[in-house]
């Protein structure tokens, strides 16, 4: 690897470290619950979008069914806690593992499909999962499952009314996904996956195994999405198919990466930092009356950003750093 790339990667790591310090320190001075909630959700979706980005951005497989892995993670962790007494601090990782396995099971048939056929198949698989969970009594069906309130502890990952520990939990999650993406970018896998994304035929001629590349990307992406779903379940304290597995979650997971910049390290973070606050604040200030203004704003923003910055918002920063291209 030449020096230019090494220097850039080291710089990225330093920027990430600085951002992490800011993200640890600043929330200590915020008392407002609404603000903390928006920060928590933004960090969570920054991590989820990064997880999506590993499959959708680096490997180029546009999945519109990630709600399935998100929901599975939430259900596995919650049900293990409720039925088997497994502490969520271990359960969330099992949720991630099952999410990753689910992504492999979905990928095995679906990676034969290409382009729009793949995208629509992922929508359908996600929808099947949603309908099954909705009609499956053992997992609570449409009524859902409450997570029993326990004494605040790190073991149970429950912190009562205190929001700050949750914020650090999702911050750790977002940081872990970022590190994973950073490691992938510099690894042999990362190069192989980007080759699969850019030109399947050329990648194959260079000896890249297309199918196993996609499967590896799917497993990692599914693991982190499941992990995020499990954490989300703990945070909201109640899950049902509509709140963790509905199709719109698939879009919400992909959207920050797309708006921020697919296949980039900072895209998912930037996208989530813009999208989630706009979505949350508009729905709490404008959506209360049920008049749909929040949806109009949200939809219009997606259209405008996608058209104005087709490569994503990261480009705004890149231009400044390197001068006009």
Q: Could you list the residues that contact another protein (CB under 8 A)?
A: 62, 109, 112-117, 119-121, 123-125, 127-128, 131-132, 134-135, 247, 251, 255, 258-259, 262, 290-303, 306-307, 310-312
CA 208 remoteness from chain centre = 27
Cβ 315 to another protein shortest distance, Å:
9
- Closest to another protein by CB, 121 or 253: 121
Residue with smaller CB distance to another protein, 120 or 210:
120
Contact between residue 213 and residue 193 where contact means Cβ atoms under 8 Å apart:
yes
Q: How far is the CB of 259 from another protein (least distance, A)?
A: 8
HEC states along 97-124?
HHHHHHHHHHHHHHCCCCHHHHHHHHHH
Distances (CA, A) of 207 to 202, 283, 320: 9, 49, 38
Q: Whose Cβ is closer to another protein: residue 126's or residue 233's?
A: 126
- Residue 146: left (phi > 0), alpha (psi -120 to 50), or beta? beta
How many whole angstroms separate alpha carbon 116 and alpha carbon 107? 15
Q: How far is the CB of 323 from another protein (least distance, A)?
A: 19
> How buried is residue 178: exposed, middle or buried, by Cβ count under 10 Å (0-12/13-18/19+)?
buried
The minimum distance between CB 253 and another protein, in angstroms, equals 13
Q: Which is it for the CA torsion 238, 241, 246, 252, positive or negative?
A: positive
Minimum CB distance to another protein smaller for 290 or for 324: 290
Minimum CB distance to another protein, residue 185 (Å): 18
Nearer to another protein, 77 or 122 (CB): 122
């Amino acid at each position: 690897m030449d020096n230019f790339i090494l220097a850039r990667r080291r710089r990225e790591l330093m920027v990430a470290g600085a951002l992490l310090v800011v993200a640890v320190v600043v929330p200590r001075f915020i008392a407002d619950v609404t603000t903390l909630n928006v920060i928590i959700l933004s960090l969570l979706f920054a991590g989820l979008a990064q997880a999506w980005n590993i499959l959708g951005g680096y490997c180029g497989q546009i999945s519109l069914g990630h709600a399935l892995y998100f929901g599975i993670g939430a259900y596995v962790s919650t049900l293990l806690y409720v039925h088997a007494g497994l502490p969520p601090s271990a359960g969330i990782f099992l949720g991630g593992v099952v999410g990753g396995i689910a992504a492999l099971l979905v990928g095995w048939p679906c990676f034969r499909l290409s382009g729009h056929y793949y995208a629509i198949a992922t929508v359908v698989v996600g929808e099947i999962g949603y309908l099954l969970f909705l009609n499956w009594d053992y997992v609570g069906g449409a009524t859902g499952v409450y997570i029993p309130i326990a004494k605040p502890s790190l073991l149970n990952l429950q912190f009562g009314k205190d929001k700050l520990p949750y914020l650090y939990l999702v911050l750790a999650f977002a940081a872990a996904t970022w590190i994973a993406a950073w490691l992938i970018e510099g690894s042999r896998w990362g190069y192989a996956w980007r080759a699969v994304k850019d030109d399947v035929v050329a990648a194959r001629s260079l000896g890249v195994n297309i199918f196993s590349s996609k499967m590896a990307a799917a497993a990692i992406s599914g693991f982190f999405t499941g992990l995020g779903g499990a954490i989300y379940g703990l945070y909201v304290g109640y899950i049902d198919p509509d709140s963790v597995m509905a199709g719109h979650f698939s879009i919400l997971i992909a959207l920050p990466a797309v708006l921020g910049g697919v296949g980039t390290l900072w895209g998912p973070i930037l996208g989530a930092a813009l999208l989630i606050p706009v979505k949350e604040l508009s729905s709490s200030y404008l959506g209360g009356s049920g008049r749909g203004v929040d949806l109009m704003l949200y939809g219009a923003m997606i259209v405008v950003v996608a058209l104005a910055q087709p490569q994503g918002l990261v480009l705004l920063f890149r231009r400044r750093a390197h001068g006009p291209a």
